Amino acid sequence: MRRTVYTEDHEAFRDTLRSFIEAEVVPHYDEWYEAGIVPKDFYRKLGELGVFGIEVPEEYGGAGIESFKYQAVISEELARAGVSFGGSSVHIALCLPYLTGLATDEQKKRWLPGMAAGEMMFAIAMTEPGTGSDLAGMKTTAKLSDDGTHYVLNGAKTFITGGVNADRVIVCARTAPRRTTTAASASPCSWSTPLWTATPWAASSARSD
Which positions touch ligand FAD (CB under 6 A)? 90, 123-127, 132-134, 159-161
Least Å distance between CB 104 and ligand FAD? Answer: 24
Based on its alpha-carbon atoms, the radius of gyration of the chain, rounded to whole angstroms, reads 18
Q: Between residues 108 and 157, which has the closer beta carbon with respect to ligand FAD?
A: 157
Of all residues in the shown chain, the one whose CB is closest to ligand FAD is 132
Q: Between residues 13 and 96, which has the closer beta carbon with respect to ligand FAD?
A: 96
For residues 170 and 160, the answer to whether their CB atoms sit within 8 Å is: no
Q: Between residues 4 and 133, which has the closer beta carbon with respect to ligand FAD?
A: 133
Least Å distance between CB 10 and ligand FAD? Answer: 26
Least Å distance between CB 160 and ligand FAD? Answer: 5
For residues 201 and 40, the answer to whether their CB atoms sit within 8 Å is: no
Least Å distance between CB 76 and ligand FAD? Answer: 19
Q: Between residues 55 and 128, which has the closer beta carbon with respect to ligand FAD?
A: 128
Instruction: Residue 95: name the closest of 136, 52, 143, 50 by CA.
Output: 52
Give the list of residues 6+ apart from residue 47 with CB closer than 8 angstroms, or none.
Answer: 53, 116, 117, 118, 119
- Strand 141-144 versus strand 151-154 pairing type: antiparallel
Torsion of CA 49, 55, 60, 61, to 10 degrees: 20
Least Å distance between CB 90 and ligand FAD? Answer: 5
Q: Between residues 8 and 134, which has the closer beta carbon with respect to ligand FAD?
A: 134
